[in-house]
């Protein structure tokens, strides 16, 4: 059935994209933590590290919400 093939392909693509987004968020969280740790008391670097970590977590939350919404819509239509 063509509709089930389309749904399966979309779900596979979403799973791959979710894996990439999760990996990217984890890497950025590590980079932010590294910048924070090696800041040496420099307030600018501390703030930069905190900002990168906060934005990484926020991006991951947005990506997870998008994943749940898209999978719910796919489950509804396919």
pLDDT tens digit sequence for 20-39: 999 999 999 999 999 999 99
Whole-Å CA distances, 64 to 18, 25, 43, 44, 61: 8, 11, 31, 30, 5
Encoded tokens for 35: 């910048």
CB contact at 8 A, 39 and 45: yes
- State residue 5's pLDDT score: 85
Backbone dihedral region for residue 42 (phi beyond 0: left; psi -120 to 50: alpha; all else: beta): beta
Task: Give the domain extent around 44.
Answer: 2-77
The number of folded domains in the chain is 1
- State residue 23's pLDDT score: 95
- State residue 11's pLDDT score: 85
State how far Cα 58 lies from the chain centre: 8
Would the pTM count as exceeding 0.85?
Answer: no
Give pLDDT < 70 ranges for the chain.
1
């Amino acid at each position: 059935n063509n509709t089930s093939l389309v749904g399966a392909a979309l779900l596979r693509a979403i799973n791959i994209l979710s894996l990439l987004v999760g990996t990217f968020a984890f890497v950025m969280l590590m980079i932010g933590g590294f910048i924070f740790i090696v800041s040496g008391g420099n307030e600018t670097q501390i703030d930069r590290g905190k900002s990168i970590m906060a934005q990484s977590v926020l991006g991951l939350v947005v990506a997870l919400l998008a994943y749940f919404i898209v999978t719910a819509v796919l489950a509804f239509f396919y």
